[in-house]
Amino acid sequence: MAVTLRALQTVVPPTILFQEQVRDIFAAQPGLSRLAQRLVSTSFNVSGIETRHTVIAELTLDNDATEPQFFDARQQLLLVPSTRVRNELYITEATKLFVEAGRQALAACPDIRAEDVTHVVTVSCTGFYAPGPDYMLVRELGLKVSTQRYHLGFMGCYASMPALRTAKQFVEADPNAVVLVVSAELCSLHLRTSSDPDTIVASSLFSDGAAAGIVSARAPLPGEKALALDLFETVITPVGEGDMAWKIGDEGFEMILSTYVPHIIDEHIEAALAPLFARDASITAQLAAPLQADAVWSPVGATMVAPVLTIATPASLSSVIEHWAIHPGGRSILDKTEAKLDLRADQLLPSRETLRTNGNMSSATILFVMKAILDGPATADGERVCAMAFGPGLTVESGLMTVIEG
């Protein structure tokens, strides 16, 4: 039984942030050191981003808000709203994105009606409320009141991968299950001015967006492209626990995104992929060397014993797997991945284009990349897709998928 992801849809809020304008505003904020000003310019310039989207309508140069909470356009001043103010806006605006993305996914799947949905899995790390987005989807989309609801919260950029894995497990347990998966992130609510390098990097990358899809055992319709969800794996890297983290502060959520993260990924991406590839007979048959299956924690000092990687030369991966959906956490992460795995430039294009036009939307971003791959004219039935997303821990979530065309 093939479990498929269908009807991938993406939604972004209407307010557009132009990277050069945002850079100049952040660099001109009072209290920044000269070093911080240079870091702002460098981080924004090398981000690989041209535009981002935000739910904060007043984050524009021409806004005329009389009582601004986030940005005073007259003084070109970034304000410091409380966590409560930020979360209240999340409740309003995230709900809109969750519902709209879910509605579009259902509309794109004409053989599945609202009343067919048996499970809802929602994903977000940028706000909280209860009853939450899972409840709002049931109410606003007219789903059955008995729909089972699950929310994956505060996991970070990789969370849509375990959401898809959870949906796959539901369908494998009940072939009649229909799971609506929706991710919505409002990262811009937590952007702030600071001289801290990690905060500057985060401010140069993060943005808002939502994505949704339907997971079931139903075959795609004629002409429709979908993704068969083959395998998933989770790996924690031996280092990096303090290099990517997400905490709640009095003035919003505080992101720690160290500039060392790309180096960690460069050193450990092969080991993170090895357990995934080891479970796929068609891939192991094409690689020239065996794969280490797993790593373990040492009870002494809670340190990790990393696997000894015996993967084949990375050059073989670009031919064995046609498409790579890599979470664009930043341009340097994509650069490291492309070089380490010896991928072709065109194989990273969906990730780079998603980053260029939308920035890093945390957990929703990987679904944007998957949709770009499915929508690509060169994507053909039977081709393999490897998806990877990175998040706090440092955690690497990966998955193998197969393109299916109805």
Q: Are 120 and 150 in contact (CB under 8 A)?
A: yes
List all residues 6 or more positions away from 131 whose beta carbon is below 8 Å from its beta carbon: none
Helix (H), strand (E) at residue 18 = strand 15-18
Three-state DSSP at 35 gives helix
What's the length of the chain?
406
The angle subtended at Cα 240 by Cα 236 and Cα 241, nearest 5°, is: 80
Task: Say how far apart CA 189 and CA 366 lie, in whole Å.
Answer: 20
Task: Say how far apart CA 273 and CA 292 lie, in whole Å.
Answer: 10
Closest by Cα among 235, 243, 236, 239 to 261: 243
Provide the total of helices (H) and of strands (E) in the chain, helices listed first: 12, 17
Q: Are 363 and 156 in contact (CB under 8 A)?
A: yes
Peptide bond into 205 cis (omega under 30): no
- Tokens describing residue 331: 């341009």
DSSP string of 369-391? HHHHHHH-TT--TT-EEEEEEEE
Task: Say how far apart CA 354 and CA 351 lie, in whole Å.
Answer: 5
Q: Is 219 buried (19+), middle (13-18) or exposed (0-12) by CB count in 10 A?
A: middle
Selected catalytic residue, list 109, 125, 157, 187: 157
157 classed as catalytic: yes
Residue type, 319: S
List all residues 6 or more positions away from 41 whose beta carbon is below 8 Å from its beta carbon: 23, 27
Q: Are 279 and 233 in contact (CB under 8 A)?
A: yes
Catalytic machinery residues: 157
